[in-house]
Amino acid sequence: MTPSDLRQLCRTGKWTGPTAGACDGYVQCNIVALPEAFAADFARFCALNPKPCPIIGQSNPGETNVPLLGDFDIRTDCPKYQLFVDGSPTEELQDINDYWQDDWVFFGLGCSFSFEDALLQAGIPLRHIEQDRNVAMYNTNIACQSAGPFSGNMVVSMRPLSVSHTIRSIQICSRFPAVHGAPIHFGNPKDIGIDDINRPDYGDNVEILESEIPVFWACGVTPQQALRAAKIPCAITHSPGHMLVTDLRNAELATL
């Protein structure tokens, strides 16, 4: 299935689930859409926190796509959206036509589903994909740098790996700084403020075998924490795990 095929399914409401493992080889993006008045501060927040918030594309006010990323309509072409009102997540939406304004700007941020493609190609198994689950994501005690009203702690995604696969994943993901880069932590989850690894804050719980260790990457759900802190009147993101699949190939983001 091509990215265009998947986006058409999203547009018609026929694909509403997570996008992990979909359209192998293509970049998936986390999405943040908000009024132009807050866009400069949000862009600065991302620049100060490039591991969890790597910007791949940014629209001009009112534009509904970024040609670099493909021929899409940001109002309809994600599987599911999350509405924020005064900093609080309210309802999930199938499209955002009723909320989109001519002064809105949207950001496409790098997503871990892109580096997962490189891990799979290297023969590193990913259990959430094997089990058709959403990746496990957690709030942490790692503070982000603030910009204007935007602040908060980093969110991470977790994948259980063997020791040898952990070492290899660090090597592979270091080539992809535009999609979170190398892991930020592995081992004891309590070191980064996660009290119960079996109870993710977002996504699905994934079993960790005795021979494995949890490996944590910076996650594009982090901007949702920043929106909570900012308490701006209205903003929209993707629903965790439900990304915009672009026409950009993962290989184009590799630094080596």
| SS percent in the chain: helix, strand, coil, step 5 | 25, 30, 45
Q: Which residue has the tokens 């493992």?
A: 21
162-184 per-position pLDDT tens digit: 999 999 999 999 998 888 999 99
CB 41 within 8 A of CB 147: yes
Helix (H) or strand (E) holding 109: strand 104-110
**Cα angle at 35 between 181 and 110, to 5 degrees?**
10
Separation CA 140–CA 15 (nearest Å): 31
**Cα angle at 67 between 61 and 68, to 5 degrees?**
115
Phi and psi angles of residue 91, each rounded to the nearest 5 degrees, phi first:
-95, 155
Tell which residue, 236, 244, 246, has the closest CA to residue 32. 236
Tell which residue, 86, 83, 65, 45, has the closest CA to residue 4. 65
Separation CA 197–CA 42 (nearest Å): 30
Residue 98 has pLDDT above 90, yes or no: yes
39-82 per-position pLDDT tens digit: 999 999 999 999 999 999 999 999 999 999 999 999 999 999 99
Residue 21 has pLDDT above 80, yes or no: no
Phi and psi angles of residue 9, each rounded to the nearest 5 degrees, phi first:
-65, -40
Q: Global pTM?
A: 0.91
Separation CA 33–CA 39 (nearest Å): 9
Q: Which residue has the tokens 């629903």?
A: 239
Specify which residues 92 forms β-bridges with: 82
Mean pLDDT (whole number) for 26-41? 95
